[in-house]
Structure 1
């Protein structure tokens, strides 16, 4: 997955999210382009329900600051290394998992090399039925000189089907039946759900005009 997302949720998508997680969302306006370090909407479990909170996109481990990670990209975490990478391991194994709802994510066109002064070309990837994409995420909390900082990373996996022609990674998208396993299951069950949940044929992608 690249480091660009969107949360322009349709009325149907908002209804889906409310049905899944309850009246925990505040719709503050559509964003066509969410970049690293921007607030990224997340859903976390709380006692008796869920909490929807925007967190800094780009996970910062405890004891570190954004300045320490200025040249390190932590917006994505590979599913296959969650239990071995020190940056993400504690958060994953200790259950700091979340859901990242998106209306779409973007991948750069692999066939296009921009010339000087030319912009990248992007593929926008979405569900054609307008329903939200629900990606597995891991979040962390750390103390910084500016106070407590909560941050998130989007978990990625190998792409399904023909999406491999666009990029070699994709968000670990979850069907509603697997949300509980990712959020509250034991580590192995959570990894298996994130790896197997999303089938081929549910995504549509096209170059952004």
Structure 2
């Protein structure tokens, strides 16, 4: 699964790299947790816009927003088999921006957190799905991060990893007229391990209350 990530890049860098216009204000985040607002990119009237969505999918049919706690991730392999995800895979796809994510390696009774990022340190995009939810006077836009099999570097720590899209696939993923589910699923592959770095970080990341730059640093040997 993917249960924690970061996005602390400069806003002008994000706008330029992802060719989008920010709608919502964004602050640097080092330890983003489920149910918090996260920066997602969607296509609106042919243009990419960046806006906040709550992390943890609350489908339009849900009776209670608490379902979002169970839907922070969606498995790439079964997206087209589950009614909730199949409809969103056709019509409501997004990019979820990050510059690193965390997974925990279990050793005996201990769990050591690791940070994963691009070898060049640049931000990247998870493949995501989103939906509207409305009940009485409450409305919500929420999303989920798609996960896939791990690459060689992630497999040392965990048996899943977030599906990271190649930049050349952003347009295909976002385009509203793209409904070829087989093609869309083919984009959700383990990201090449030789383009990523991973290293252990402080267990301070275990608590979402700790949200500062020191969390990004490798543990001293």
Gaps of 5+ in 2: 203-221
Query: 1:59·1:75 contact (CA, 8 Å) conserved in 2?
Result: yes
**Separation (CA, whole Å) in 2 of partners of 1:39 and 1:17:** 18
How far does residue 128 in structure 1 lie from its aligned partner after superposition? 2.7
Structure 2 residue 132 is matched with structure 1 residue 138: no
Partner SS, residue 109 of structure 1 = strand
Alpha-carbon displacement from aligned partner over 1:49-84 (angstroms, at most 9, x marks no partner): 0111110100011121444517x5101000011111
For residue 17 of structure 1, report the CA deviation from its aligned partner: 4.2
Tell me what 2:184 maps to: 190
**C-alpha displacement at 1:138, in angstroms?**
0.3
Question: Post-superposition shift, 1:144?
Answer: 2.3
Q: Give yes or no for contact 1:157–1:171 (8 Å, CA) kept in 2.
A: yes
Matches within 5 A, 1:1-209: 1-9=1-9, 11=10, 14-15=12-13, 17-24=15-22, 28-69=26-67, 73-93=70-90, 95-111=91-107, 113-114=109-110, 120-184=111-175, 185=178, 186-195=180-189, 198-209=191-202
Contact 1:58/1:73 (8 A) holds in 2: yes
Residue of structure 2 equivalent to 1:117: none
Residues 25 and 205 (structure 1 numbering): CA distance in 2 closer, same or farther, change over 3 Å?
A: farther
Which structure 1 segments of 5+ residues have no match?
Answer: 115-119
Tell me the matched-pair count: 199
The residue number in structure 1 matching 2:210 is none
- Counterparts of 1:143 and 1:155 in 2: how far apart (Å)? 23
Query: TM-score scaled to structure 2, two decimals?
Result: 0.82
Q: 1:122 to 1:146 in 2, by over 3 A?
A: farther
TM-score by length of 1: 0.86
Higher-strand-fraction structure: 2
Deviations 1:115-174 (A, max 9, x none): xxxxx5310111131211211000011112342211000011101123211111111101
Q: Secondary structure at the match of 2:42?
A: strand
Q: Give CA-to-partner distance per residue, 1:34-60, whole Å, 9 cap, x none.
A: 111001110000113011111010001
Distance 1:122 1:105 in 2: 10
Give the Cα–Cα distance (whole angstroms) in 1 for the partners of residues 66 and 161 of structure 2.
Answer: 26
